[in-house]
Amino acid sequence: MNSLFLKRIVTCSLFCVCSACTTEHTGLYDHVDCSGAQQCFDKGFRLAKSGNKDDGLVYFKKACSLDHLESCKNLAVYYSLRYFTDPNDDDADNENLKKAAIFTDRTCKLGDADICAIAGSIMMFTGDQESAQNYTHRGCSLGSKKSCSLEKLVEMVPVFGSPEVIREIMRSIYRKLFTDE
C-alpha cells in the first residue's frame, strides 16, 4: 500500500470524521448505558480490567465523545500500540492507523502533550510533514519532552526514503518513547 493512499485515509479520518466527532459519536453510542463522561469511563475501565476489552472500548469511546480526556487517551494509546507494535495484516493495520489518528488528534486537542507526540509520529509515517510538525510543536509547547524530541526528528524524515524504512524507524522510535522495551 503506498504512502499517498495512507495519507489520504488518515487525512480523511482526521478532518472529515473528527470534525464531526461529537455529533457522530454521540449518536453512535446512544445505546451505551451511562449517564456522563466519568461514569462511562469508570464502567469502561472496570470492563477492560476484568478482561472484557471490547465492551470497555465502547464505553471509552462514548466518554471520549463527551470530551473525557482519560478515555480519549486510553483509546489513542490502545490503537497506536496496536498499529506501531503489532504485526498485522494490511487491513487491520489500516484500521488501527485510522483509529489511532482519530483518537490521538482528539486527545492532543484536549491538551495531552505526550499524545501529541504520538499524533506527530503517525503523521510522520503517512508523510504529512506539516501536520507532524504541528502536533509535535503543540506537544512540546505543552511541556512534553517526548514531543520536543520528536519535533527535531520530523525534519529528518525525508532523508530516510521509502515508506517501509520510515515505518520501521517510526516503530523503533515509538517503542523507545512509549513502551518499556
Cα–chain center distance at 172: 17
Looking at the predicted structure, is the pLDDT value of residue 113 above 90?
yes
Higher pLDDT, 165 or 10: 165
What residue spans define the domains of the chain? 3-178
Could you give the CA distance from residue 76 to residue 165 in angstroms, rounded to a whole number? 24
pLDDT tens readout for residues 67-89 = 999 999 999 999 988 887 766 56
pTM for the model: 0.71
Specify the amino acid at residue 141: S
Write down the pLDDT at residue 24: 39
Measured at the CA of 82, the angle between CA 146 and CA 113, to 5 degrees, comes to 25
Of the chain, the percentage scoring pLDDT greater than 90 comes to 39
3-178 in CATH: which number?
Answer: 1.25.40.10
Which among 111, 107, 141, 110 has a CA at the least distance from the CA of 122?
107
Yes or no: say if 136 and 156 are a contact pair by the CB < 8 Å rule: no
Summarize the confidence of residues 53-78 as an average pLDDT: 93
Largest CA distance in the chain: 50
Yes or no: say if 25 and 144 are a contact pair by the CB < 8 Å rule: no
Looking at the predicted structure, is the pLDDT value of residue 109 above 90?
yes
Yes or no: say if 138 and 156 are a contact pair by the CB < 8 Å rule: no
Could you give the CA distance from residue 20 to residue 39 in angstroms, rounded to a whole number? 23
For 57, how many CA atoms within 13 A lie in the half-sphere containing its CB? 11
Which among 97, 103, 98 has a CA at the least distance from the CA of 171?
97
Could you give the CA distance from residue 2 to residue 90 in angstroms, rounded to a whole number? 11
Residue entry with cell 520528536: 150
Write down the pLDDT at residue 26: 43
Higher pLDDT, 33 or 163: 33
